[in-house]
Each structure stands twice: as structure tokens, then as C-alpha cells.
Amino acid sequence: MKPASSERINRESSGMKQITSKIAIVAIFATCAATKLSAEESLPIRNCTWCHGSSAQGFANAPRIAGQTHKYIESSLLSFKSHVRDNPYSKQFMWGAAANLTKEMAHGFAVYFSELPPSAANDGNGTLTDEGRSIYVEGIPQSNVVSCIVCHGPNAEGFEGIPRLGGMGYDYLKRRLEQWNEGYHAAAEPMPRIAKRLSASEIEALASYLSFVK
């Protein structure tokens, strides 16, 4: 394990400094003219970063949201609120977190986090990346597993409402792929029908490969 706690404190104190200086800048502007508030001032960003990490790169069970496509973040937040997304951690953490979100707030959070630069988790099994890349690019035609690249893009960058997968944490990617086969988040077609064709070792290979994609 990484020295997570000290790293997190460092990240958060630098985040706090940024927030403080931004508030100072805004205060100066506000005296000159009525300015539109930035996301940090108008939204409780800290409520998200407390779990997802101060630079939103993910932490423990909370996935990275930095650099995620804004349409995907927005639709995810609304699907937590409507309980369409019903995975165990979603129920435990996100149903409550999203319960009082307005559509405007969901949009604001989505835009804010989509603009933060993502960095790769690099925490998969490095010996499985070739197999994972092959499944990602070509699928497994013999067992009717479709290629991932056609929807998620050549660098797993996502597209509109389709999520970026490149550099997400290994555990998160593996868990999501497994949980479709267990009946969770069944509304997210076509993923349930795709994931059910993947074996346990194929899921490990895919999640490993993706965790290293920049």
C-alpha cells in the first residue's frame, strides 16, 4: 500500500491553499463587478473530494472522477439519485450523497470534475496487459465478446455519455465488470450483455490493461 494518509493530507492541504487563493481572487473581482461564481465557490466540491481524493484521482473504493466525460458524470449522479445505479457501494455511499442534488448541481459537478487532469492508477497486473489490450481492441470474436474500442475509443477516453476507462483503478474496473454479471446496474445496456460473456481471467486482464492506459 502507498503511504496514503500522508499523501492525502499533502494533497488536501495544497488543495486548501488553492481554494484559499481562489477565494481571494474572487473577492477582488467581486468588488469591481458582479462575477459569476466558479464551481469551487458555488458547489460543495469538498463533499465529493473527501472520498474521491482532493484532486479527484480516486481513493480507496471511490473511483477517479478527474477527466471523466461530463455527460457520464452527470448521468451517473442522476442515476444514483433515481436508484437506477444500484451497485453495493452506490447504495451505501452515493444514494445518500446524490439524494438532494438538482439537475443544475449535477451538471456543475460534472463539468468541474471533467476538466481536472486525470492520471493513471497503474495498479493492475502488468503481466496481463497484452491479453487485456487484445480483448479491448479486438474483442473475442469466437465467444461473441465485442471490441471495447468501438465505444470507449482508441485511448479508452470515452465519448459523450460513454465513460473514460483509461487509467481507472484496477479494483473499480474489475468490480464493475463482475457486478454486471451479478445483475447490478441492469439498465446500463449494452454493458450487462457484454460483461456476462467475459470469464474471470478475461476481466482481470481487461482491468489490468486499462489501469495503465494514459
Partner 1 sequence: MKIVGLRLAATAIFALAFALVGQAADRSEGGNSTHGFQGKLEYCKTCHGLSGEGYRGYYPMPRLAGQQPKYIENQLRAFIERRRVNPVMFNVAHVLSPATLAALSEHFRNLNPEPIGGGPKEHVALGKTIYEQGLPESNVPACSACHGPEARGHEEIPRLAGQLFPYTLKALSYWGKERGLGGSRDDTSAIMVPTTHNLNHEQMSAIAAYLSYMK
Query: Which C-beta is closer to partner 1: that of 62 or that of 145?
Result: 145
What Cα–Cα distance (Å) separates residue 35 from each residue in 25, 30, 57, 115?
Answer: 11, 6, 29, 20
Q: Please, what is the minimum distance in Å from the beta carbon of residue 153 to partner 1? A: 4
Distance CA 201, CA 109 (A): 35
Closest CA to 61 of 86, 92, 89, 97: 89
The answer to the question of residue 188 lying near partner 1 (CB under 8 A) is: no
d(CA 189, CA 49): 29
Among 43, 78, 146, 188, binds partner 1 (CB under 8 A): 146
The residue among 32 and 189 lying less far from partner 1, judged by its C-beta, is 189
Q: 4 or 137, CB closer to partner 1?
A: 137
139 interacts with partner 1 by CB under 8 A: yes
Please choose, out of 32-40, 54-62, 131-139, 200-208, the segment that lies near partner 1 by the rule CB under 8 A: 131-139
Q: Which is nearer to partner 1, 53 or 139 (CB)?
A: 139
The pair phi, psi for residue 162, each rounded to 5°, is -90, 125
Sole binder of partner 1 in the list 38, 61, 119, 147 (CB under 8 A): 147
Contact assessment for residue 179 and residue 89, using Cβ atoms and an 8 Å cutoff: no
Interface region with partner 1, contact rule CB under 8 A, candidates 4-12, 17-25, 87-95, 190-198: 190-198
187 belongs to the binding site for partner 1 (CB under 8 A): no
- Sequence-distant (6+) residues with CB within 8 A of 77 are 94, 98, 101, 106, 109, 110
Taking every pair of C-alpha atoms in the chain, what is the biggest distance, in angstroms? Answer: 66
Rule CB under 8 A: choose which of 22, 83, 193, 214 binds partner 1: 193
* Contact between residue 95 and residue 80 where contact means Cβ atoms under 8 Å apart: yes
Interaction mask 79-98, partner 1, x per CB under 8 A: --------------------
Q: Closest CB to partner 1 among 34 and 189?
A: 189
The CA angle 40-41-42, to the nearest 5 degrees, is 100
Binding site for partner 1 (CB under 8 A): 137-139, 141-144, 146-147, 149-154, 157-160, 162, 189-190, 193-194
